[in-house]
Amino acid sequence: MGMEYTVLGSTGVRVSRIGLGTWQFSEAWGVTSYEDARRIVEAALEHGVNLFDTAMVYGRGMSEEFLGRALRELGARRDEVVVATKIPGEFLQPWDVFRAVDRSLRRLGLGHIDVLQVHWPPCWHNFPTCRYMRALERLVELGRVEYLGLSDYPVELVEAARSCLARHDVEVLQVRYNLVERWAEEEHLPYAEEAGMSLLAWSPLAKGALLGKYSLEEAQRLGDVRSREPLFHPENYSQILGLAAKLREVAERYGKTPAQVALNWLLTTSSAVIPIPGARRPEQVAENAGAAGWRLSYEDWRLLDEESRRIRVTYVTW
C-alpha cells in the first residue's frame, strides 16, 4: 500500500496523510548540510509526501532555504507540493508581518507560500490580534499566501483570530499531539473536526521517546534538542518504555515498525489529523511514509489507547 491523501481543511488542496516536518534542518537537530537535507526531501517526494512544514525560526531561515532549494532542484511541480511555513509571534507587528513574509518568500524561492501559520501568539509584545490577522489576510488578498493557519494557539484565541478575518478563514491548526501527549483531544481536535480544519500533529513520535530505542540511562545522555526534553526525564521515560513495548508487540502483528504504528494510531483516531514527523535520514522518511495506506484494528487502537492513558507525564522536571 502506498501513500494516501486527504484534503487540507476546506481548501480542496490534495495533501499526503503523512507530511514532513523540517525543524531538523537546523542546529537544533543537526542536519546542517544542504546535501543531507536534499536527500531527505528527495525521499519524501519519492514516497508520495507532498506536504512540507517549515518555519522562519528553524535555523534562522536555514530550514526554509534548504527546503525551497531542494524542491526547486529536484524539479517538484509547484502545483503538486504544499509548503507550510510559520511566522513567530514576535514578528507580528503589522508592518513586520510583510517584512518577515518577504524574507521568507526569498528564502523559499517558490513564488508564494501555500499555508502561512502563526507559530505562537505574540505573548510578550501585546500586538493586537486583529491588527496582525488582517495583515496576514491582506497577504492572501495580494496573492503571496494561499491559506492561513495557527500553530500552538489555545482554542479561545483561535476563535478571536478567526473573528478578525473578513474574507478568508483559518484552514489549519497545528498542535503537539502524540500517543503520550494527548491534550489536543480535549479541545483542538473536536474543534478542528467541527470547523472542517486540518490538524497538523507536530512531535507525533514524541521526539522519538515513544519508540523506546534508548535505555533509561542512555536517554539521559542525548546531546541534541532532546537533552532538556521532559519526556526523556526518568520520571516520564520510565513510564513510556512500557508503552514502547506494546508498540513493538502490535508492530510485529502487522509487519510494521513501532514508528509506523504510532503514526497510524493518529491517522486512525481522526481523518482530520495529519502527522508531520521530522526525519534526519532518508530511511526515516520512507519508514514514516509507510504509516499510511493501512489501518490498525479497533482492538489494537484501544490497546494502545488504554496503555497510553496509564502514563501521567509531568513537565515539572527540575
In a domain, residue 303? The reply is no
> The whole model's pTM is what?
0.97
The parent domain of residue 11 ranges over 5-208+259-294
Q: What's the average pLDDT block by block, 10 residues per block, for the chain (318 residues)?
A: 94 98 90 96 98 98 98 97 98 98 98 98 97 98 98 98 98 98 98 98 96 83 80 95 98 98 98 97 98 98 98 96
Whether 175 is in a domain gets the answer yes
Q: State the CATH number of the domain containing residue 138.
A: 3.20.20.100
Q: Is the dihedral of CA 92, 98, 101, 103 positive or negative?
A: negative
Strand pairing report for 113-118 and 170-176: unpaired
Q: Are the C-beta atoms of 104 and 85 separated by less than 8 Å?
A: yes
The alpha helices in the chain, defined as continuous H runs, are 34-46, 62-73, 94-108, 129-141, 155-163, 188-195, 216-219, 234-254, 258-269, 282-289, 298-309
Residue 137 placed within a domain: yes
Query: Which residue out of 5, 34, 58, 147 is catalytically annotated?
Result: 58
At residue 310, φ and ψ (nearest 5 deg) are: -80, -15
Cα separation, 46 vs 70, whole angstroms: 13
The answer to whether 231 and 212 are in contact (CB under 8 A) is no
Instruction: Please name which of 213, 209, 184, 224 lies closest in space to residue 277, comparing C-alpha atoms.
Output: 209
Q: What is the DSSP string of 186-246?
A: TTHHHHHHHHT-EEEEESTTGGGGGGT-S-HHHHTT--SGGGG-GGGSHHHHHHHHHHHHH
SS3 assignment, position 10: coil
Question: What pLDDT score does 151 carry?
Answer: 98
Cβ atoms of 211 and 48 within 8 Å: the answer is no
Within a domain: residue 231?
Answer: no
**What span, in angstroms and rounded, lies between the C-alpha atoms of 145 and 271?**
25
What is the pLDDT, as a whole number, of residue 1? 66
3-class state of residue 6 by DSSP: strand
Q: pLDDT for 250-299, tens place per residue? A: 999 999 999 999 999 999 999 999 999 999 999 999 999 999 999 999 99
Structural domain total, the chain? 1
User: Is 34 among the catalytic positions?
Assistant: no
How far, in Å, CA of 134 to CA of 38, rounded?
A: 35
Q: Does residue 238 lie within any of the structural domains?
A: no
Q: Is residue 252 part of a domain?
A: no
160-200: pLDDT as tens digits: 999 999 999 999 999 999 999 999 999 999 999 999 999 99
Report yes or no on 251 lying in a domain.
no
117 within some domain? yes
The x, y and z cell numbers of residue 143, run together, are 496573492
pLDDT of amino acid 221: 79
Main-chain phi, psi angles of 307, to 5 degrees = -60, -40
